[in-house]
Every structure is written in structure tokens, then in C-alpha cells.
A and B are shown apart, each in its own frame.
Chain A
Amino acid sequence: DGGITQSPKYLFRKEGQNVTLSCEQNLNHDAMYWYRQDPGQGLRLIYYSQIVNDFQKGDIAEGYSVSREKKESFPLTVTSAQKNPTAFYLCASKTAGGPDTQYFGPGTRLTVL
């Protein structure tokens, strides 16, 4: 089955720790995205990547880092510099350019203890 997987589904972090959220896709999509969703709000773009070994900051990149070493994978690290990391994180992918929609993973809920 083609799709996007995110792991883990739930993640708990102590203050001061870095954590990495996994996003994998087997749709052969070039572009991948990370969004953050807070209650009652729309999605906000953290980082995106149009091609392997290249990525750009989105609207709220501070306190986050990413890598894109493989086409299939786009992990997101939430660093200790992110002051309010508790949120629902969504990964998406699409073909580069063109009119296609983004396909979303099931999300990871991160809670800071």
C-alpha cells in the first residue's frame, strides 16, 4: 500500500530534551512538508523540502531542524530551543510543482512533561 507513515503516534518529552519525529513515504513524491497544528487553529508550516538534500524554512522554523538524506524520509527534530513544543505534528508529501494535492500522514502528538 502506498502512503505516508509517521511514528510514533504519541511522544512524551521532558523539558530540555531533543526528540525526533519520523516521516516516511513510498509515494515517490519529491516534495515533503512538516506542519504543526494547535487546538482550534489551522496548520502552520515548519519546514519543507522540494528535493533530496535541500530544504527551506517555513513560517515557524525556530526551534526545529530537519534533514532530507533520502527521498522517502524527512525526519523532524524538535529541539530544546522550541519553547512550546506540545502540539500535533503532521507530515505531508506531494509531487513537486503541479496541481496535485498534498497527502498527509496520520500525525504525531507530542507532549512536553
Chain B
Amino acid sequence: KQEVTQIPAALSVPEGENLVLNCSFTDSAIYNLQWFRQDPGKGLTSLLLIQSSQREQTSGRLNASLDKSSGRSTLYIAASQPGDSATYLCAVTFIIQGAQKLVFGQGTRLTINP
């Protein structure tokens, strides 16, 4: 069964710190991996998408890495700000019998303290 796991479930850090969010997945046959941001009571916003052939993607203060062989991805946030407080979801598109299936992790709720 294809699963995506995010640890920890919640994280609280002081403003200005660099931090890493973790995502692990059970199957290396993936099409891509995405990181989403979700604010309370809102929909999801795509932050970064890494194709299976790529090792990392960067956008501003965000950097996402992908290691298919170990089934891991990290989202690095530099110089964190209170506005970064949100839930971050990792989602993996698995390839199952030629079809694509998107599976989400449970999310990490991030709080940046001023």
C-alpha cells in the first residue's frame, strides 16, 4: 500500500530560524512529489513540485529535496517568519499499474513565534 508520512505532526520555532520539514513515502515508483501549504479553514496552495527525475526545487526561501531511493523528501524554510505559520502537506503521485494516484501525508502544523 502506498503511504506518505510526515513527522512531526506539529512544530513550533522562533522567528528567524531555519527549519526542515520531513516527508517519507513507501514506494519509489513515483511520478512526482509536491509540497502544499494550507492555512486554517482554507484550500491548498502548491509551493513546490519535484518531478521524479529531479533532486530539488527552489522558490524564494523554500527548498524541497527528493531522494527516491530512500523514499524521503525535505522542505527547507530559511529565515522563518510568522507569516509562514500554516500546515504543510506533502503529496506523492505514485505510479500504480500504469495509472497515477496522488496520496497525501497528514501534514505538519508549523507555528513561527515572533
Asked if A pairs with B, the answer is yes
Q: Is the CB of B43 within 8 A of A104?
A: yes
Q: Is the CB of B49 within 8 A of A42?
A: no
CB distance from A34 to the nearest CB of B (A): 13
Q: Is the CB of A99 within 8 A of B32?
A: yes
How many A-B pairs with Cβ below 8 Å?
45
Question: Chain A: interface residue count, which band?
Answer: 20 to 34
Main secondary structure of the interface of B (DSSP, over half): strand
Could you say which of B65-73, B78-86, B104-112 contacts chain A?
B104-112
| Assembly CA distance A102 to B34 (angstroms) | 10
Residue of A whose beta carbon sits closest to that of B51: A99
CB distance from B112 to the nearest CB of A (A): 20
Q: Is the CB of B4 within 8 A of A40?
A: no
Q: Is the CB of A102 within 8 A of B106?
A: no
Q: Is the CB of A90 within 8 A of B31?
A: no
Q: Is the CB of A42 within 8 A of B107?
A: yes
| Assembly CA distance A107 to B87 (angstroms) | 15
Residues of chain A contacted by B46 (CB below 8 angstroms): 101-103
Given A40-B9, A99-B51, A101-B49, A45 and B102 contact (CB-CB distance below 8 Å): yes
Q: Is the CB of B32 within 8 A of A90?
A: no
Q: Is the CB of A42 within 8 A of B4?
A: yes
Residue of A whose beta carbon sits closest to that of B6: A42
Residues of chain A contacted by B106 (CB below 8 angstroms): 40-42
The chain A residues found within 8 Å of chain B, CB to CB, are 4, 6, 40-45, 88, 90, 92, 99, 101-107, 109
The chain B residues found within 8 Å of chain A, CB to CB, are 4, 9, 31-32, 34, 36, 41-46, 49, 51, 89, 91, 102-107
